[in-house]
Structure 1
Amino acid sequence: MSDTDQQQPAQPSNQPAGEQPETPARSYPRTFGALIGSMIFLLVLVVPIVLIVQWRGNLEREVSGANETYKADWAEAVRSAQVADLDVVYPRELPSGWYANTDPSYQGGDEPSWTMSFVKGETSYVGLELSSRSAQALAQKNIDTQAKEGDEVSIDTDVADTWTEWSDSGGDTGYSAEVDGQTLMLWGPKDGDVRDYLALVTTEPLK
């Protein structure tokens, strides 16, 4: 026998005839698609959160009065209140550079009150409130819970001639007086600013 005849017969293959062995699928197309999907998911998740945070920040600034560019039409609010026969006190005019940063507000009920707020720059402000509450209650509300009552001083204005001084440890000051059976208080961080407004307040009809 030849060497060729002595070779062992080939072992039968388990692979069916006509079929080729499977080639493992490459993983990079699936990985790239997953990456794109993850990026889209993050965008869908993050963008609404960013928008909500921005919206809440704007809302908080508006509610807190921190929007310094807003200038209220305080004169029209005073006219409307007077037409409704409400008791209001207001400045005849505003000193140069000052404006109302919030709309004047009237609150009815058992303790009616009228409030106004004016600012100049970032540190100067003056608040005004006419209320049925006591001067001490208004001082604790608007100046400081530990506000101290000072001396009575004579300041000639359209609405009162005698005023009570109020102050706190931080340097804020206020003045209160009785006006037609109610308490009028003006306050701010600078005594000079408050006194300037005392000289301007009136109850006369605003034309």
Structure 2
Amino acid sequence: MVAWWTSMSERGGRYERSFGGLVGAMVVAVIIVLVLVVARGLLSSDVDNTDRPAVDYLENVEQLQRSDIGVVYPATLPSGWSVTSVDVADIERPGALPAIGFDLLTDDDKYVGVKVEQESAEDLLEEYVDEDPAETDPLTDAGGPGLATDWAGWEDDGGDRAFTATYGEDRTVLVFGAVSADELADLVGRLTDATLPGVTPQAAPSS
């Protein structure tokens, strides 16, 4: 009897320790999940941008134009819209032009982007919109001075819309966002590459 009781007691103690270890493992697992969720939020392109302040994007446009870099930008913005950042990528190879991007927020805090890159329309759509967006109605007689008048229309299953057009010899303009086609078309109509008043491009250094 003594041997039987001792055996059961030892097994009971091992069970209690195993249960405690299981609870501890569950707590650790929950912490790991929370850390991953926070990290994903910090790295995701879907991070809430509604609290980002507006920037004077025309100052950036002026700097680019003074460096003799053609840039497509909104001459004006729809009522209540703002530009929250202007991104200019490093030049990756000699003779290349930098990729330029504008991040915008609508009056109801929806994201809209404008990208100008030396990439094909297909590559830009895959990177910023969808791997296989459906072609929609194009825009004709759109875009400001210096820009193409015909823009191809696109839409994905998630409701994102986009318009693309060729700019210069080998650059593409992409305008995209989760807004209506009319709102996006209105922004396209405000785009231009006109030189800002008072801007004189710097002369290229003589060889």
TM-score, with normalisation over the residues of structure 1? 0.64
Q: Which residue number corresponds to residue 126 of structure 2? A: 140
Task: Look at both structures and tell me which one has the larger radius of gyration over its CA atoms.
Answer: 1
CA contact (8 A) 1:126 1:193 kept: no
Q: Which residue number corresponds to residue 162 of structure 2? A: 174
Q: CA deviation at 1:122?
A: 5.0
- In structure 1, C-alpha distance between the alignment counterparts of 2:182 and 2:191, rounded to whole Å: 15
**3-state SS of 1:78 partner:** helix
User: Residues 154-207 of structure 1: CA distance to partner in whole angstroms, max 9, x if unpaired?
Assistant: 133221111111110011110001111211110111222211111100001123
Match of residue 195, structure 1, among 173, 185, 193: 185
Q: CA deviation at 1:148?
A: 2.8
C-alpha change, 1:65 and 1:116, in structure 2 (3 Å) is farther
C-alpha change, 1:201 and 1:146, in structure 2 (3 Å) is same
Q: Which residue number corresponds to residue 99 of structure 1? A: 82
1:125 aligns with 2:108: no
CA contact (8 A) 2:86 2:100 kept: no
1:186 aligns with 2:175: yes
**3-state SS of 1:149 partner:** strand
- In structure 2, C-alpha distance between the alignment counterparts of 1:196 and 1:99, rounded to whole Å: 14
Match for 1:154: what amino acid? T
Q: Flag the structure with more relative contact order, 1 or 2, with Cα contacts below 8 A and sequence separation at least 6.
A: 2
How large is the Cα RMSD of the aligned pairs?
2.6
Question: Kindly, what percent of the aligned residue pairs are identical?
Answer: 25
Match of residue 162, structure 1, among 143, 150, 163: 150
TM-score, with normalisation over the residues of structure 2? 0.64
**3-state SS of 2:59 partner:** helix
User: Residues 115-147 of structure 1: CA distance to partner in whole angstroms, max 9, x if unpaired?
Assistant: 111102454222101111000110111112232
Q: What is the 5 A alignment of 1:40-119?
A: 60=42, 64=47, 66=49, 68-110=51-93, 112-119=98-105
Q: Which residue number corresponds to residue 31 of structure 1? A: none
- In structure 2, C-alpha distance between the alignment counterparts of 1:193 and 1:105, rounded to whole Å: 25
C-alpha change, 1:104 and 1:75, in structure 2 (3 Å) is farther
Kindly tell me the number of residue pairs found equivalent between the two proteins.
Answer: 151
Q: CA deviation at 1:96?
A: 1.3
